[in-house]
Amino acid sequence: MSDPNCIFCKIASKQIPAFIVYEDEQVVAFKDISPQVPVHVLIVPRLHLAGLDALTEAHRELVGHIALVAQQLAKELGVTTRGYRLVANCGPDAGQTVFHLHFHLLGGAPMAGKMV
């Protein structure tokens, strides 16, 4: 299920271009268009879900899969030793701007301060 007005659904279905670094049946990972650190990749499910709040028990395996894809990509992109972050913004206080569930994989430089 995809949303015809959703930019990440369009990237996942290759209707609009992105620098895809990984894809499988469940997820697509591509470079963020406005990188905040040298390695800034977005991992998104092919399924359109508006965000973390849209997850249900049915998505338990999907979220675990995304975490393992993030771990694998961190290795491939060379940020495992120095470290990385996996971040999902949900809702206005968190600054979510695209309402298709996505996880930011961030690394390659020290990140300013600890978020938590």
Which of 69, 73, 74, 100 touches Zn ion (CB under 5 A)? 100
d(CA 103, CA 1): 19
Residue 33 touches ligand AMP, criterion: CB under 6 A: yes
d(CA 86, CA 14): 24
Beta strand residue intervals within 1-116, DSSP E: 20-23, 27-31, 39-45, 84-87, 103-107
Q: Which is nearer to Zn ion, 6 or 52 (CB)?
A: 6
d(CA 11, CA 19): 9
Residue 98 touches ligand AMP, criterion: CB under 6 A: yes
d(CA 8, CA 15): 10
Q: How far is the CB of 83 from Zn ion (least distance, A)?
A: 30
Residue 3 touches Zn ion, criterion: CB under 5 A: yes
Residue 7 touches ligand AMP, criterion: CB under 6 A: yes
State how far Cα 97 lies from the chain centre. Answer: 13
For Zn ion (CB under 5 A), the number of binding residues is 6
For ligand AMP (CB under 6 A), the number of binding residues is 12
59 is known as an active-site residue: no
Binding interface with ligand AMP (CB under 6 A):
7, 18, 30, 32-34, 42, 89, 95-98
